[in-house]
Structure 1
Amino acid sequence: MKNKDIIIGIVTGIITTIIGSILYLTFFSKFDLVTSIKQVMRFNSFNKLVNLGALLNLAAFYFFLHKDQELRAKGVLIITIILAFVFLIQKLF
């Protein structure tokens, strides 16, 4: 049960990052979603987009904490730290 809850949290973190990225493109871009994604890839701004999308992980984290599901919140935190670490390494090298 313990590992299952952490995996649910990790999957939730990944899904909320994707949803957050799509929402950011939808609300703050002048173009449609497909054109916006092409522009992001063209200008190598994918890391910035995913980082902005990861802000939605805060909502998932606090939701799980509010519902006393600490292991799921831990999973969301794990994926957020992994994303930050990967983009930090990519930025440095």
Structure 2
Amino acid sequence: MTKKDIIIGFVVGVIAAVFGLIFAIQIFGKSDNWGEVIQQAIASGTLTKLMSIGALLNLGAFFLFLKKNQDNRAKGVLIATLLIFIVTMIIKFFN
């Protein structure tokens, strides 16, 4: 069950980051249209900041899994967070 738990944690981490990005767009965006906010963020170079704020929800999922002694799921969340970090750095430095 180790691989299954890590995959579950990874999926939870990605979903949490997506919801966090949506929340960040809603809070910091100047429009109700998500596409328009993302285009403005890309144009102004703030998309990576929104992605980083969105990944903060992974912190809650990580510690929740640790509190419940589900270490392998916490590893999956950590892997998802590292993947989001790598994608964020790629976007930041190659855009």
Fold shared per TM-score above 0.5 = yes
TM-aligned CA deviation for residue 69 of structure 1: 0.7
Structure 1 regions of 5+ residues with no counterpart? Answer: none
CA distance in 2 between partners of 1:33 and 1:64 (Å): 34
Distance 1:91 1:25, change over 3 A: closer
Q: TM-score, normalised by structure 1?
A: 0.84
Q: TM-score, normalised by structure 2?
A: 0.83
Contact 2:21 2:55 in 1 (8 A): yes
Distance 1:22 1:72, change over 3 A: same
CA distance in 1 between partners of 2:91 and 2:37 (Å): 22
Structure 2 regions of 5+ residues with no counterpart? Answer: none
User: Aligned partner of 1:48: which letter?
Assistant: K
TM-aligned CA deviation for residue 45 of structure 1: 3.0
Percent of paired sites with the same residue: 46
Task: Give CA-to-partner distance per residue, 1:45-68, whole Å, 9 cap, x none.
Answer: 322221111011001101111111
Contact 1:26 1:33 in 2 (8 A): no
CA distance in 1 between partners of 2:91 and 2:62 (Å): 25
CA RMSD of aligned residues (A): 1.8
